[in-house]
Amino acid sequence: MVTASLKKRAEKAPLIKVESKNDLSFTFQIKGKAFQQGYLFLNPQMKELFPFNGELCSVTFIDDDNFSHSAIYHKMRGYMVCLTFNEWWEKNKVKDGSIVTIELIDAEKKVYKLKLVNKEPKEDKIDEEKIEFRFSPSLDSCISYDSSNLEVLRRIVKNEYSPVSETNMVQMGANVACGYCSEDLLSLKSCFGVSTYFHQVQTAKTVIEKLNGRALLADEVGLGKTIEAGLILKEYLLRGMAKKILILTPASLITQWQEELKTKFDLTFKNHLEINDWDDSELIIASLDTAKSTKNQEFVKKIKYDLLIVDEAHKLKNKKTKNWKFVNAINTKYLLMLTATPIQNDMIELFNLISILKPGHLSTVQKFKEDFLTEKDKRLPKNSLKLKEMLSEIMIRHRRADTLIKFPQRFVHTYSIDLNDDEAELYNELTDFIRRKYYTLPTHKNPRGINRLTLILLQKLMGSSTHALANALDKMIASNYYKDDFDVSLKKMLDMANNVKESKKGQVLMEIVNSLNEKVIIFTQFRGTQDYIVKMLESKGYSVAVFNGQMSQVEKDKCIEDFRNEKQILVSTESGGEGRNLQFCKYLINFDLPWNPMRIEQRIGRIHRLGQNDDVHIINLSAKDTIESYVLELLDKKINLFRLIIGELEMILGNMQSKRTLEQIIIDIVTMSPNRETMKRKFKTLGSKLEKALETHTEITRAQEEIFNGE
Amino acid sequence: MENKIRSIVFSFLDMAKIPYKEIRKGVWIAAIPEAEKNFFDNVSKLEFTFNRELAEEHRNIELVCEGSFLLRKIIERMSVLPRVSRVFSKRIPETPPQSLTVVTDSAYYRSKVAFNYKVTFNCEQNKDKLYSVVADTAFGVLNINDKLFEVDMDEFSEAPDPNLKIEDSGYDILKLYMEACQKLEDEIHTDIKELRCWSEEKYHESIKVFEDYLDEQKNELLKKKENVSFHLYFFQKEEEIDKMLANLEEERKRKTAELQDKFRVKVSVSLINAVVLCIPTIGTASSKAKRTISSK
Q: What per-residue confidence (pLDDT) applies to B288?
A: 44
Average pLDDT for chain B? 83
Is A81's CB within 8 Å of B124's CB? no
Q: Please state whether beta strands B83-89 and B156-157 pair in parallel, antiparallel, or not at all (unpaired).
A: antiparallel
> What distance in Å separates the CA atoms of residue A504 and residue A581, rounded to the nearest whole number?
31
What phi and psi values does residue B250 have, to the nearest 5 degrees?
Answer: -60, -45
Average pLDDT over residues B231-241: 75
Residues of B with CB below 8 A from A142's CB?
192, 196, 264-267
Of the candidates A5, A140, A363, which has its C-beta nearest B168's C-beta? A5
> What distance in Å separates the CA atoms of residue B149 and residue A51, rounded to the nearest whole number?
36
Q: From B270, which residue of chain A is nearest by alpha-carbon distance?
A: A146
Average pLDDT over residues B106-115: 88
Q: Please state whether beta strands A111-116 and A99-106 pair in parallel, antiparallel, or not at all (unpaired).
A: antiparallel
Pair A663, A601: CB distance under 8 Å: no
- Same domain for B164 and B218: yes
Residues 80-139 of B with CB under 8 A from A: 80-87, 111, 113, 115-116, 118, 120, 124-130, 137
> What distance in Å separates the CA atoms of residue A497 and residue A476, rounded to the nearest whole number?
14
Q: Which of A121-135, A684-698, B225-239 has the lowest mean pLDDT?
A: A121-135
Pair B61, B55: CB distance under 8 Å: yes
Q: From A162, which residue of chain B is nearest by alpha-carbon distance?
A: B85
Residues of B with CB below 8 A from A61's CB?
none
- As beta bridge partners, residue A372 has none
**Alpha-carbon torsion A229, A231, A235, A237, what sign?**
positive
Q: From B214, which residue of chain A is nearest by alpha-carbon distance?
A: A360
Distance from CA of A542 to the nearest CA of B (A): 29
Residue pairs spanning A and B at CB distance below 8 A: 260
Is A163's CB within 8 Å of B78's CB? no
Residue A125 makes CB contacts below 8 A (sequence gap 6+) with none
Q: Which range scores top for mean pLDDT: A126-135, A435-444, B150-159?
A: B150-159
Q: What per-residue confidence (pLDDT) applies to A394?
A: 92
- Same domain for B89 and B67: no
Average pLDDT over residues A128-156: 63
pLDDT digits (tens, 9 = 90+) for A523-549: 999 999 999 999 999 999 999 999 988
Pair A646, A604: CB distance under 8 Å: yes
- Same domain for B245 and B218: yes
ipTM: 0.83
Is B192's CB within 8 Å of A190's CB? no
Distance from CA of B65 to the nearest CA of A (A): 7
B188 to chain A, any CB pair closer than 8 A? The answer is yes
For residue A659, the 8-state DSSP code is S
What phi and psi values does residue A546 have, to the nearest 5 degrees?
Answer: -115, 130
- Same domain for B56 and B167: no
- Same domain for B123 and B67: no
Pair A576, A590: CB distance under 8 Å: no
B75 to chain A, any CB pair closer than 8 A? The answer is yes
Strands (DSSP E) along A386-481, which ranges?
395-396, 410-417
Provide the residue count of chain A: 711
B30: CATH = 3.30.360.80
Residues of B with CB below 8 A from A180's CB?
66-67, 128
Is A167's CB within 8 Å of B75's CB? no
> What distance in Å separates the CA atoms of residue B2 and residue B55, rounded to the nearest whole number?
14
Of the candidates B12, B80, B251, which has its C-beta nearest A169's C-beta? B12
Confidence band, pLDDT 50/70/90 cuts, at residue B59 = low
Of the candidates B118, B171, B174, which has its C-beta nearest A153's C-beta? B174
- Same domain for B167 and B58: no
Distance from CA of B231 to the nearest CA of A (A): 21
Residue in A667, A500, A511 with CA at minimum distance from that of residue A589: A511
Q: What per-residue confidence (pLDDT) applies to A375?
A: 74
If one counts the domains in chain B, the total is 2
- Same domain for B62 and B187: no
> What distance in Å separates the CA atoms of residue A35 and residue A96, rounded to the nearest whole number?
9
Of the candidates B56, B268, B273, which has its C-beta nearest A192's C-beta? B56
Confidence band, pLDDT 50/70/90 cuts, at residue A230 = very high
Q: From A208, which residue of chain B is nearest by alpha-carbon distance?
A: B125
> What distance in Å separates the CA atoms of residue B185 and residue B190, rounded to the nearest whole number?
9
Average pLDDT for chain A? 81
pLDDT digits (tens, 9 = 90+) for A532-591: 999 999 999 999 999 988 887 668 778 888 898 899 999 998 655 444 667 889 999 999
Average pLDDT over residues A414-434: 89
Q: Please state whether beta strands A79-81 and A214-217 pair in parallel, antiparallel, or not at all (unpaired).
A: unpaired
Is B186's CB within 8 Å of A209's CB? no
- Same domain for B24 and B133: no
Distance from CA of A459 to the nearest CA of B (A): 49
For the stretch A631-638, contacts whose Cβ atoms lie closer than 8 Å and that sit 24 or more positions apart, written own/partner, are A631/A593, A631/A595, A631/A666, A632/A414, A632/A593, A633/A683, A633/A687, A634/A683, A634/A686, A634/A687, A634/A690, A635/A597, A635/A600, A636/A412, A636/A414, A637/A687, A638/A687, A638/A690, A638/A691, A638/A694
Q: What per-residue confidence (pLDDT) applies to B2?
A: 74
Residue in A554, A582, A551 with CA at minimum distance from that of residue A569: A582
3-state secondary structure of A696: helix
Residue in A421, A429, A479 with CA at minimum distance from that of residue A458: A429
Is A174's CB within 8 Å of B275's CB? no
Q: From B112, which residue of chain A is nearest by alpha-carbon distance?
A: A2
B293 to chain A, any CB pair closer than 8 A? The answer is no
Q: Which of B13, B60, B173, B256 to mutate to test the interface with A (most CBs of A within 10 A)?
A: B173
Pair A662, A656: CB distance under 8 Å: yes
Q: What per-residue confidence (pLDDT) applies to A283?
A: 94
H/E segment holding residue B244: helix B234-262
pTM for this structure?
A: 0.65
In the predicted structure, residue A354 carries a pLDDT above the cut 90? yes
Q: From B41, which residue of chain A is nearest by alpha-carbon distance?
A: A268
Distance from CA of A51 to the nearest CA of B (A): 20
- Same domain for B249 and B152: yes
**Alpha-carbon torsion A389, A392, A397, A400, what sign?**
positive
Q: What percent of chain B has pLDDT over 70?
A: 87
Average pLDDT over residues B147-167: 89
Pair A435, A671: CB distance under 8 Å: yes
Pair A583, A612: CB distance under 8 Å: yes
Is B177's CB within 8 Å of A72's CB? yes
In the predicted structure, residue A15 carries a pLDDT above the cut 60? no
Q: Which of B77, B108, B137 is the last residue of a domain?
A: B77
Distances (CA, A) of A15 to A28, A37, A55, B163, B213: 10, 14, 21, 40, 62
Structural domain harbouring B70: 2-77
Is B69's CB within 8 Å of A190's CB? yes
3-state secondary structure of A166: helix
Q: Which of B27, B43, B77 is the last residue of a domain?
A: B77
Distances (CA, A) of A396 to A206, A362, A491: 9, 16, 59
Pair A255, A286: CB distance under 8 Å: no
- Same domain for B55 and B103: no
Distance from CA of B99 to the nearest CA of A (A): 23
Q: Which of A406-415, A441-450, A647-656 has the lowest mean pLDDT?
A: A441-450
Of the candidates B79, B82, B156, which has its C-beta nearest A173's C-beta? B79
How would you label A193-203 residue by residue, b for 16+ Cβ within 10 Å and e otherwise?
ebebbebbbeb
> What distance in Å separates the CA atoms of residue B115 and residue B113, rounded to the nearest whole number?
6
In the predicted structure, residue A121 carries a pLDDT above the cut 80? no
Q: From A363, which residue of chain B is nearest by alpha-carbon distance?
A: B213
Confidence band, pLDDT 50/70/90 cuts, at residue A266 = confident
- Same domain for B98 and B211: yes
> What distance in Å separates the CA atoms of residue A467 and residue A577, rounded to the nearest whole number?
22
Euclidean distance between the first and the last CA atom of chain A, given in angstroms as a whole number: 75
Average pLDDT over residues A283-288: 93
Q: Which of B48, B77, B106 is the last residue of a domain?
A: B77
- Same domain for B116 and B252: yes
Distance from CA of A202 to the nearest CA of B (A): 17
Average pLDDT over residues A361-370: 84
